[in-house]
């Protein structure tokens, strides 16, 4: 394992080193409730295209230190920034985030403006007013219950399958596969469920305050985060260098964003996703490193 020692503990990383580096590094942020392993395929392919790829486990996930399922959001941002600063000494840095990982990426870009050379966000879990976000959203009564438990027992962890019963259904076979993995964490604190998943994703004013170049990718068949979310977010985000691309896929981009490959998807489909990322990075590569 490779670790980044940060002020708030060790962050585990899976690194894909390119044999023909082009001067760029892609820092990958996983979503909920997964870890860095979901980038196994993407990391391999992107490194073959000349990019060094660093996939980190968020605190309390995978091999990273921290309370399981109860990370401190502010400290997490500071740890990510420390890693970005370290990488920036030698390379351009692009951040790639999937699903709930987009929350961390967008807040990072909002908080540390101009620290990244670009942002690649796949199916961002953002709450846009008057737009239904997902087939897995909790009911009003469930959310009130979560708020109450957030007040009474903030650090108590609960299995997400109990509070989000439809999450497994809409996430498909990929979630079923992950849930059987003994290394996967499925228990999260009420504090995390409310403060990060609910509240952080609802602060649209901050989430659209992004000045870095941004590429949004989404699947037309995504039930975890509806494609309309990205369409509306694209209209709102401040960046003057923004692009939205929609694929005929679900939440996992033909399993290009998952650690196991399903034979129902042809390689050509996954290649279209990887090629879109590489082409966009190439088009936003400055003539001189900064």
The domains found in the chain, sorted by start residue, are 2-129+203-283 (3.40.50.1820)
Find out whether the peptide bond into 33 is cis, omega within 30 degrees of 0: yes
How many Å separate Cα 89 from the centre of its chain? Answer: 24
Q: What is the pTM of this model?
A: 0.95
What H or E segment, with its residue span, contains residue 190? helix 190-192
Whole-angstrom distance, CA of residue 39 vs CA of residue 17: 14
Please enumerate in sequence order all residues whose Cβ is within 8 A of that of 14, keeping only pairs 6 or more positions apart, or say none. Answer: 2, 36, 37, 39, 40, 43, 54, 55
Measured CA angle at 155 (ends 149, 160), to 5 deg: 70
pLDDT per position in the chain (290 positions), as tens?
Answer: 699 999 999 999 999 999 998 899 999 999 999 999 999 999 999 999 999 999 999 999 999 999 999 999 999 999 999 999 999 999 999 999 999 999 999 999 999 999 999 999 999 999 999 999 999 988 889 999 999 999 999 999 999 999 999 999 999 999 999 999 998 999 999 999 999 999 999 999 999 999 999 999 999 999 999 999 999 999 999 999 999 999 999 999 999 999 888 778 999 999 999 999 999 999 987 654 44
């Amino acid at each position: 394992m490779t670790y980044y020692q940060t002020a708030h503990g060790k962050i585990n990383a899976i690194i894909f080193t390119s044999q023909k580096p082009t001067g760029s590094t892609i820092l990958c942020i996983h979503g909920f409730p997964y870890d860095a392993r979901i980038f196994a395929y993407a990391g391999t392919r992107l490194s073959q295209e000349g990019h060094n790829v660093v996939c980190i486990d968020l605190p309390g996930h995978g091999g990273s230190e921290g309370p399981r399922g109860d990370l401190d959001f502010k400290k997490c941002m500071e740890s990510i920034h420390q890693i970005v600063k370290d990488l920036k000494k030698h390379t351009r840095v692009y951040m790639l985030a999937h699903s709930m990982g987009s929350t961390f990426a967008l807040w990072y870009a909002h908080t540390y403006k101009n620290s990244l050379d670009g942002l690649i966000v796949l199916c961002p879990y953002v709450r846009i007013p008057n737009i239904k976000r997902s087939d897995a959203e909790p009911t009003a009564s469930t959310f009130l219950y979560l708020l109450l438990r957030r007040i009474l027992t903030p650090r108590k962890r609960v299995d997400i399958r109990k509070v989000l019963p439809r999450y497994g259904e809409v996430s498909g076979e990929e979630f079923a596969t992950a849930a059987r993995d003994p290394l996967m964490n499925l228990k999260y604190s009420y504090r995390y469920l409310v403060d990060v998943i609910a509240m952080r994703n609802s602060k649209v004013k901050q989430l659209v305050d992004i000045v870095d170049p941004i590429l949004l990718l989404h699947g037309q068949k995504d039930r975890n985060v509806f494609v309309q979310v990205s369409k509306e977010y694209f209209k709102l985000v401040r960046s003057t260098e923004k692009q939205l691309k929609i694929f005929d896929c679900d939440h996992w981009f033909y399993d290009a964003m998952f650690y196991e490959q399903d034979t129902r998807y042809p390689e050509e489909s996954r290649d279209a996703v990887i090629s879109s990322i590489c082409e966009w990075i190439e088009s936003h590569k400055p003539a001189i490193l900064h």
